[in-house]
Amino acid sequence: MSWIDICGTEDIPLRGARTLKTALGCVAVFRTAKDEVFAASNTCPHKGGPLSEGIVHGQSVTCPLHNWVFDLNTGQAQGEDGSIATFPVRVEAGRVLIDAAKLLARSAA
Amino acid sequence: MTQKLVIIGAGMASGRVIEQLVETSPEAFDITLFNAEPRGNYNRIMLSPVLSGEQTYADIVTHDDDWYAAHGVTCRFGEHVVRLDPEMKLVEGQNGCAPYDKLIIATGSAPFIIPVPGKELPGVITYRDLDDTNAMIEAADKGGAAVVIGGGLLGLEAAAGLAERGMDVTVLHLMGHLMERQLDEAAGYLLRKDLEGRGITIRTQASTKAIIGDGRVEAVLLESGETLPADLVVMAVGIRPETRLATDAGLTVARGIDVNAQMQTSDPDIYAVGECVEFDGHLFGLVAPLYDQAKVLARTLLGGRDAFVVKDTATKLKVTGCNLFSAGDFADGPGREDIVLRDPAKGIYKRLVIEEDRLVGAVMYGDTADGNWFFQLIKDGTEIDELRETLIFGPAFQGSATADPLSAVAALPREAEICGCNGICKGTIVDAINAGATELGAVRATTKASASCGTCTGLVEQLLQVTLGDDFAMPTAQPICGCCDFTHEDVRRLIKSQELKSQEAVWQELGWKTRNGCHVCRPAVNFYLLADWPLEYRDDPQSRFVNERKHANIQKDGTFSVVPRMWGGITNPTELRAIADAAEKYDVPTVKVTGGQRIDLLGVKGEDLPHIWADLNRAGLVSGHAYSKGLRTVKTCVGTDHCRFGTQDSTGLGIKLEQILWGAWTPHKVKLGVSGCPRNCAEATCKDVGIVCVDSGYQVGVAGAAGMDVKETERLVDVPTEAEAIEWTTAFVQLYRENARYLDRPYKWVAKVGLDWVRDRLADADERARLVAAFELSQSIYRVDPWAEHARQAERFQPLADLTLEAAE
């Protein structure tokens, strides 16, 4: 694991998301009502909708294009055959850290 | 690998194919759908209630624009297909070619036109689609005499509908009794009597010789030499498969397009489905076998194995207000016996045809409740020897002392067909109920039973009752979504009465089952809170859909559109220069003039939004809210300023209204129009609120529509002064904000509460003043430019970090 500090929790809107550009494409970093932070692919596997623009509810996000609902813990789409990649993140002293190993790996290879 | 699938014809059969494909394997095909009609799939079985005025087109839409968009279907509606090229695998439409990997022909059927002189006169129409239905409705509005040629199902439905709309209707039928293919003489007689009771004249054994008229239909001439005056002639003598494209493309065509049991035509990459096909010598007109074909075809396309077989179908006929049922073979013959029950006073007739101790046919009129039970006996070939004494009284009298209304349904075997349209049997429905589909909507969603023509809704509800016993409550209103047990109306009422002023209060006090709602309920609750408690609660952007949070419309490629406000459609060189500069500076690929009298900049990148807004703000331009459930535009004409017909300053009034109303959130979008005279150049009479200026003052109309539905406004009030026009308009918008369900446009809301209720509330001067004051209070918060606010937080529109750079280091 190699943790990178990407932002403060406050930089992400409550029940909202911001994006992160990576070698694997755009990653969305979500913040729930209870200040939990999740990171997952920003791209809906259905029609490529930007998930960071979706409504964040509970520990889920709804795609803004066609309302696919993803569980942010597993990346699994509810009632659909599809899922998004999720990435390890943790919050320490109000800072959001993401595991860069997985994100940087491919470009290094 | 996604294949290109082109479908010609958006009818019920191809609609079902698409449903099955996108449900099973949404990525398998990139679907392009051609339809000659300028609309998608609707429930054609229900055109008769539309004709008679019981339902509207909106009620019978199966797939709307959103559905096609949600499933990625490219729609080319209103475009005729000119030619197929099986060599090049191309479909040539009027507006260009579409290549395919697989092609489905679903062109349906065309009405048969009897070859008599005058058949092409204006005023002679057929009865196949919505346009025909609308043409009949329009003709009926003028009144007069209608002649319907053809006493089959379609002809009689047309006749009943036209009579309902006040026309003087005569039906001409070539044969001895009505609907001779489905009914025996006795039932045909009862049907005739019923229809005559409604003022329809029936002429059997009547043959048409010519249709007469000078430039337009005037009369119908019979072989007998008699002439019947006619302002409208409906030709409903039958249909034939529409096979022209297939024939021209060299496919094998007999009466219909020849297909095998996998619905494949003589070209292996071309399939056909629906009324246009011929299979094993059979043609198809009822919906049940078409849905079977659709299922087989979808499975075949996805690489599965399935085969279409022709099944017996029972007919439950829907001549509005008449109950008819027929199944099997009911012709007289040696060795056949009849059991007949007649109750003339109630208009009931039942006839069972028995051959060798088995039921072979059934015809029923007036009371058709036991039809499915009889149909099952026919299909199973059940020996009826022991039942014979009481057979005609139906399942309620078989081995049971009491005649429980539910026992007929309870007595049906698992294989008994409940929903004829979709071919769903009792066992499937009971299994679905036991698996948790405990109300009608859920049964419809999981099994499709009662989701087409709806005549079996009662049966499905009885099955729910039989299966669930006391746990089943007859359906009441639907909750907003799975997160709660309350309807929209309940939630609105409780937010007011319990003074719930935050989302958290709503979740807690109303027992929400989820942490903070979902994408369905949270936007609604957010609106209800901000409308009822403008000072205590503030709009929550995170509970709004992307467009309203971003203050721009997201486009399919992820870029956005930017529409600055042009008050009343008036602009000036400075504003235009600023728009032109912005379009150049941010490389805007498309600049379009909108229908709401302003300019749309399409294709702006998300991260550029705050900058383009800041630039536009500097020239005095603000958000046009072209994305919001709020005031969109006030369309105006030039009124007395320039027009020689103008009666009032319509532009000035439009600008005033827009400046009062802009920024306010409403349940759905709101569009206004102000016309300076009754010539109505601003098209005010199809707006949510439309004002038409006249010499004596202002006619305020509300609840118009010009989208999915087209509806003229209804007159709310006539007022002499501009100030009163503004007061009534503002009060109406506030009443709508306080009472409507989220996502109901004003016309939907007014249809629910009634214009009289709205007018009564607004006619009360105190209430009107309260509404205006409440609106102004809310506007003290929301009459601001969201672009200016967002432009100040430009960094929120940028990515948090760019790890691709770090990776490179």
- CA pair distance B59, B477, nearest whole angstrom: 18
Contact assignment for B804 to A21 by CB distance below 8 Å:
yes
CATH number, domain of B285, equals: 3.50.50.60
Nearest chain B residue to A107 by CA: give it: B807
Chain B nearest-CA distance from A62, in A, is 6
Q: Is B511 part of a structural domain of the chain?
A: yes
Same domain? B220 vs B247: no
Residues B21 and B99 in one domain: yes
Residue B13 carries which side chain, given as an amino acid letter?
A: A
Residue B624 inside a domain? The answer is no
Structural Rg of chain A based on CA atoms: 13
Picking from A19, A36, A106 by the largest number of B CB atoms within 10 A of its own CB, the best residue to mutate is: A19
Annotation: binding site of B for [4Fe-4S] cluster: 637, 643, 677, 681
pLDDT of B194 reads 85
Note whether B717 and B703 are same-domain residues. yes
Chain segment A7-50, per-residue pLDDT in tens? 999 899 999 999 988 888 889 999 998 889 999 999 999 888 88
- The answer to whether residue B809 neighbours chain A at the CB level (below 8 Å) is no
Question: Is B516–A20 a contact, with Cβ atoms under 8 angstroms apart?
Answer: no
How confident is the model at residue B403, as a pLDDT?
47
Predicted confidence (pLDDT) per residue in A60-104, tens digit = 999 988 888 999 999 999 877 889 999 999 999 889 999 877 776
User: Is residue B16 domain-shared with residue B38, that is, in the same domain?
Assistant: yes
| pLDDT recorded at residue B779 | 93
Instruction: Give the one of B72, B515, B519 whose C-beta lies nearest to A55's C-beta.
Output: B519
Residue that is last in its domain, among B544, B560, B589: B544
Same domain, B152 and B255: no
Residue B9 lies in a domain: yes
Map out the domains of chain A with their CATH numbers: 3-101 (2.102.10.10)
Whether residue A57 and residue B516 make contact (CB cut-off 8 A), yes or no, is yes
Closest-CA residue of chain B to A16: B542
A69 and B518 within 8 Å at the Cβ level: the answer is yes
Interface test with B, best of A26, A53, A80 (most B CBs within 10 A): A53
Handedness of CA B433, B435, B439, B445 (dihedral sign): negative
Q: In this structure, are B755 and B667 located in the same domain?
A: yes
Q: Is B515 on the interface with A (CB under 8 A)?
A: yes
- Is position B359 within any domain? no
Query: Is B66 domain-assigned?
Result: yes
> B695: how many CB neighbours lie within 10 A of its CB?
8
Instruction: Express the helix, strand and coil content of chain A in percent, nearest 5 each.
Output: 15, 45, 40
Q: Which residues contact B512 (CB under 8 A, 6 or more apart)?
A: B483, B484, B506, B521
Is residue B708 within 8 angstroms of chain A, CB to CB? no
Q: Which of B22, B546, B553 to mutate to test the interface with A (most CBs of A within 10 A)?
A: B546
> In terms of domains, do B263 and B176 share one?
no
Nearest CA in chain B to A58: B515
Structure tokens at B76: 């080319």
Q: Of A50, A57, A66, which is closest to B518 when you measure between CB atoms?
A: A57
Helices assigned H by DSSP within B5-152? 12-24, 47-52, 57-60, 65-70, 130-141
Q: Please indicate, yes or no, whether residues B154 and B283 belong to a single structural domain of this protein.
A: no
Two structure tokens written together for B549: 């949070």
B136 and B231 belong to one structural domain: yes
| Average pLDDT, consecutive stretches of 10 residues, N- to C-terminus, chain B (809 residues) | 92 94 90 94 87 85 91 93 94 93 94 90 91 91 92 88 91 88 80 87 91 92 92 91 94 94 95 94 86 93 90 68 78 78 78 87 84 84 81 71 61 80 84 86 81 72 82 70 85 88 87 86 95 92 90 84 94 95 95 94 91 93 94 93 88 95 95 94 95 94 90 94 95 95 93 91 94 94 90 80 60
CA distance A15 to chain B (A): 6
Which candidate from A6, A55, A104 shows the least CB-CB separation from B801? A6
For residue B800, is it within any domain? no
CA-nearest residue to A100 within chain B is B803
B517 at interface of A, judged by CB pairs closer than 8 A? yes
Distance from C-alpha of B519 to C-alpha of B108, rounded to nearest angstrom: 39
Same domain, yes or no: B36 and B179: no
Kind plus residue range of the DSSP H or E element containing A86: strand A86-87
**CATH of residue B737:** 3.30.413.10
Residue B425 falls inside a structural domain? no
B800 touches chain A (CB under 8 A): yes
Which candidate from B516, B517, B546 shows the least CB-CB separation from A53?
A: B546
Last residue of a domain, one of B301, B316, B346: B301
Which domain does B170 fall in, by range? 124-237
Among candidates B514, B542, B799 on the partner chain, residue whose Cβ is nearest the Cβ of A21: B799
Which pairing describes strands A95-99 and B90-93: parallel, antiparallel, or unpaired? unpaired
Q: Which of B267, B282, B301 is the last residue of a domain?
A: B301
In this structure, the answer to whether residues B98 and B152 fall within a common structural domain is no
What gap in Å lies between CA B226 and CA B224, rounded to an integer?
A: 6
Residue B72 structure tokens: 């990625």
Question: Which residues, numbered 7 to 66 in chain A, qualify as contacts with chain B under a Cβ-Cβ cut-off of 8 Å?
Answer: 7, 11-16, 18-23, 26, 29, 33-34, 46-48, 50, 53-60, 62, 64-66
Residue B793 contacts A, CB cutoff 8 Å: no
Which residues make beta-bridge pairs with A17? A30
Cα distance from B96 to chain A (closest Cα, Å)? Answer: 25
Contacts for A48 with CB less than 8 Å, ≥ 6 apart: A65, B558
Count Cβ–Cβ pairs < 8 Å, chain A vs chain B. 101
Q: Are residues B654 and B684 in the same domain?
A: yes
State how many domains chain B has: 4
Q: Give the pLDDT score at B400.
A: 47
In a domain, B742, yes or no: yes
Is the CB of A6 inside 8 Å of chain B's CB atoms?
A: yes
pLDDT exceeds cutoff 90 at A108? no
